[in-house]
Structure 1
Amino acid sequence: MGFFDKLFKRNKDQEEQKAVLDEGLKQTKENFFSKISKAIAGKSEVDEEVLDNLEEALITADVGLDTTVTIIKNIEARVAKDKYINTGELNNILQEEIANILTDSSSTDYKTYGTPLDKKPYVILVVGVNGVGKTTTIGKLAYNFKKNGKSVLLGAADTFRAAAVDQLSIWSDRVGVPIVKKEMGSDPSSVAYDTIVSGIARDVDVIIIDTAGRLHNKAHLMEELSKIKRSIGKNMENAPHEVMLVLDGSTGQNALEQAKHFTAATEVTSLAITKLDGTAKGGVVLAIANQFKIPVKYIGVGERMEDLQVFNKYEFVDTLFSLQ
């Protein structure tokens, strides 16, 4: 049982989701937990050597230098205040400090997320480089929204790659939701505009719009995303309501670089971190959340459509510190 386990009274579905999370993060938690355990092994109290070992363990677990320094400083302050802390207490304090740097969406799920009456349709603009699982994430989002009673419309505004439109069309058919698309090379902003017009006419709950994933020219990326957002806003005030950045968790620190580019180019309001199953680099979730102060809303922990989970920081931390 994890440190935060006492917070939860899970129903059957939640227990199944936790089991999927445990399995999906298996490599990450084995990597993370083993490094932390070695850092404090054989020590009876938290001294400078323990903190140095802990710092090294966090950095090598892909937590990142800046985030590691923040965690260590907070632990040092607590050790200084309480005078004596043993390594058993350190384990609990570490979990608390990691949870404190994360922002989550634990108060929402696919049933309640994103559709207050004054934001219908709720418009999500999805950004991210090619290859991170952006289109797959959109498909999984659409599936889970639909499964929970929401009507969904997709917009294929990545018109620079025929494969992108084709892939989103496949997801549209697979999930059974409509899609707005045009031929390759069309103006992405015109696709976004038509998607909003169609979504309002259809009275859908959620609109999800795909965008091109190119980073070779930051100025062009900023211009393109700004134009798309203006086109969306012409038909619906204050839309898009959310700009979701999709990052590939298996790339470790490279995901941080991608986040830097996109947060510089547009106002990112949420994160979806994919491909955490099959990688030991899931510690990068901590680095990304801490550095950019943007809530992680979803994590991908498997191939099934249900395996795009609403992020809960307490469940995530519990999993990192558990080898069951």
Structure 2
Amino acid sequence: MSDNDRNSPADAQKKKRGLWGWLKSGFEDPVPRFTHETPQEAGAPADEGREAAPAPSGDAAAVTGEASSTTPVPAAEVGPEAAPAPVAEVPPPVPVEVPVAPAGGPAFGAQIEQPPAPTVVPVPPAVAESTSEAVRVPMAEPEPEAPVAEAPPAIASESVEASAPAFEAPPEEAPVLEAPIVEAEPAPEVPPPAVEPALVDVPQQLPVEPEPVADGPAAEPQPAKKGFWSRLASGLARTASSLGQGITDLVSKRKLDADTLEELEDVLIRADLGVETSMRIVETVGKGRHDKMISPEEVKRLIAEEVERILIPVAQPLVVDTAHKPFVVLMVGVNGSGKTTTIGKLAAQWRTEGKKVVLAAGDTFRAAAIEQLKVWGTRTGATVIAREQGSDAAGVAHEAVVEARAAGADILMVDTAGRLQNRTELMAELEKVVRVIKKLEPSAPHAVLLVLDATVGQNALSQVEAFTRIAGVTGMVMTKLDGTARGGILVAIAAKHKLPVHLIGVGEAAEDLQPFAARDFARAIAGLN
């Protein structure tokens, strides 16, 4: 910019507008070139002016080149008188400021607003001559870059605008995708704490229940007896059902005549009461009631009374004579009658009473019999005397008596192997055991208990005869009454052999082995409450 332009900014602005006016006129209505001869001497200053002009940079150079090459610049007329022509002065800073318009405004070739008309100002001859030369020099250049100059600005602007959103989009989407994935993992951990309070509420209801339990102990003595009666009744339910149903079907709506009494006798025999016992009961029922109507309940009551009369003499508890120390009890019976289990239950009861008990594992033939007795010894705290399997049973009995004496035991129970009453060699071995015990203690064994299985029925009668003859049975224990309909065999044995009945078993627990009660058994077998 010249010094005159700096001093007068208004004039400089007018000059700029003059350039836009020329450019506009070049696009709309190109001005025909004025041909005139230029002296050869002016070529040197023109080259110098071209070299001295500042080279525009970047897009400015492209724009300047485009403007200079495509737009013919109107030159001042040179007349013969060489008078100064009005020419718009092109200031040097114009190429630097021109790129601002393409970046923010419309590019060349687009419709632009028509600027005001150029202002023609008179210039001195020297300035006009130099200006015309500077302007005419670019006009002589060819116009090859016209189509190339328009494309770069448009492509550059489009690429910048397209790339800008491409870089901004990924950073915004990345955190949105990661956030829900991280927060979704803690969600399953919330349900477990909700379950714990539910478990805590359950124990709170438990303390409420002790109140009804506190009322129970006051009524315990009666239920204790009824408890065994209930077990006895349920144990003999099969026998009672078989006997009771037969009586009901027989005497319902029927007179008690001879045929009825005969059929009643058959019903009693099928219940394993035995022939003698059945005939005795039928005689009692028919006395004074011939050809009369009788109810089934009345018949059941008469049967229970007659059975009770038979059992009362044999219902004797097992008494331990403290004068004999140890009190020796020999257990005998056939295979599977429950001898070892009965020994364990008795040991538990006597240990509860504070007695010192020793157990002798005399069953040296049955597999696991020795181990079974050791288990009972561990449960009850009783001492077990045992040898290896297959040892002499008499030797075990001898050792047990000696050990029991030395230990000061109150009771010694000797187990024996099961054997059938018709096996003479096995019965002879049992007889040997009895002889060995008697050598050490002449009054021993003080009790020989025959353990009978109620399920064997009438075969029990022959067992009583054989074991009584060989071992001198003093009492009887009837087991497994809860699993048979033949409970009446006990009545038949009592009626025929008059053998004392000490204990009966109606279950597997230790408390299910109870002393025999004649009245309870008679009413249970008859089906009475």
Paired position in structure 2 for 1:200: 405
Q: Write the distance in 2 (CA, Å) between the matches of 1:239 and 1:320.
A: 36
Q: Which amino acid aligns with 2:277?
A: T
Paired position in structure 2 for 1:269: 474
Which of 307, 314, 328 lines up with 1:98 in the alignment? 307
Call closer, same or farther: CA 1:143–1:75 in 2, change over 3 Å: same
Q: Which amino acid aligns with 1:281?
A: R
Which of 216, 224, 243 lines up with 1:32 in the alignment? 243
Does residue 311 of the first structure (1) align with residue 522 of the second (2)?
A: no
Pairwise CA RMSD of aligned residues?
2.5
Paired position in structure 1 for 2:446: 241
Call closer, same or farther: CA 1:191–1:86 in 2, change over 3 Å: farther
Call closer, same or farther: CA 1:199–1:37 in 2, change over 3 Å: farther
Which of 67, 72, 88 lines up with 2:282 in the alignment? 72
Call closer, same or farther: CA 1:290–1:18 in 2, change over 3 Å: same
Paired position in structure 1 for 2:233: 22
Per-residue deviation, residues 270-292 of structure 1 (Å, max 9, x unmatched): 11111111222212221222222
Please give the secondary structure, in 2, of the residue aligned with 1:129. coil
Please give the secondary structure, in 2, of the residue aligned with 1:132. coil
Alignment of 1:35-114 (within 5 A): 35-44=246-255, 46-73=256-283, 75=285, 79=287, 87=294, 90-103=299-312, 108=317, 113-114=318-319
Q: Write the distance in 1 (CA, Å) between the matches of 2:483 and 2:316.
A: 28
Alignment of 1:164-179 (within 5 A): 164-179=369-384
Call closer, same or farther: CA 1:322–1:226 in 2, change over 3 Å: same
Extract structure 1 runs of 4+ deviating beyond 4 A.
73-76, 82-86, 103-107
Call closer, same or farther: CA 1:22–1:296 in 2, change over 3 Å: same
Call closer, same or farther: CA 1:106–1:64 in 2, change over 3 Å: closer
Paired position in structure 1 for 2:90: none
Per-residue deviation, residues 23-48 of structure 1 (Å, max 9, x unmatched): 2222222222222333332245x432
Q: Give the Å deviation of 1:166.
A: 2.1
Q: Give the Å deviation of 1:263.
A: 2.9
Q: Write the distance in 2 (CA, Å) between the matches of 1:150 and 1:85.
A: 58
Higher relative contact order (CA 8 A, sep 6+): 1
Call closer, same or farther: CA 1:304–1:66 in 2, change over 3 Å: same
Paired position in structure 1 for 2:418: 213
Q: Write the distance in 1 (CA, Å) between the matches of 2:253 and 2:470.
A: 48
Paired position in structure 1 for 2:165: none
Q: Give the Å deviation of 1:262.
A: 2.2
Does residue 186 of the first structure (1) align with residue 391 of the second (2)?
A: yes
Maintained 8 Å contact 2:247/2:299 = no
Maintained 8 Å contact 1:115/1:121 = no
Structure with greater strand percent:
1
Maintained 8 Å contact 2:257/2:290 = no
Maintained 8 Å contact 1:270/1:297 = yes
Among all aligned residue pairs of Structure 1 and Structure 2, give the percentage whose two residues are the same amino acid. Answer: 41
Maintained 8 Å contact 1:270/1:294 = yes
Q: Which amino acid aligns with 1:261?
A: A
Q: Which has the larger radius of gyration?
A: 2
Number of aligned positions between the proteins: 307
State the TM-score, normalized to the length of structure 1: 0.85
Maintained 8 Å contact 1:104/1:311 = no
Q: Write the distance in 2 (CA, Å) between the matches of 1:322 and 1:215.
A: 33
Per-residue deviation, residues 126-175 of structure 1 (Å, max 9, x unmatched): 11111121211111111122223332211111222342222222222222
Q: Write the distance in 2 (CA, Å) between the matches of 1:208 and 1:93.
A: 40
Q: Write the distance in 2 (CA, Å) between the matches of 1:167 and 1:102.
A: 33
Q: Give the Å deviation of 1:323.
A: 5.5
Q: Give the Å deviation of 1:302.
A: 0.9
Structure with greater helix percent:
2
Please give the secondary structure, in 1, of the residue aligned with 2:507. coil
Q: Give the Å deviation of 1:85.
A: 7.7
Please give the secondary structure, in 2, of the residue aligned with 1:294. coil
Q: Give the Å deviation of 1:21.
A: 1.3
Q: Write the distance in 1 (CA, Å) between the matches of 2:291 and 2:326.
A: 54
Maintained 8 Å contact 1:30/1:323 = no
Maintained 8 Å contact 1:125/1:244 = yes
Q: Give the Å deviation of 1:100.
A: 2.1
Q: Give the unaligned 5+ runs of structure 1.
A: 1-9
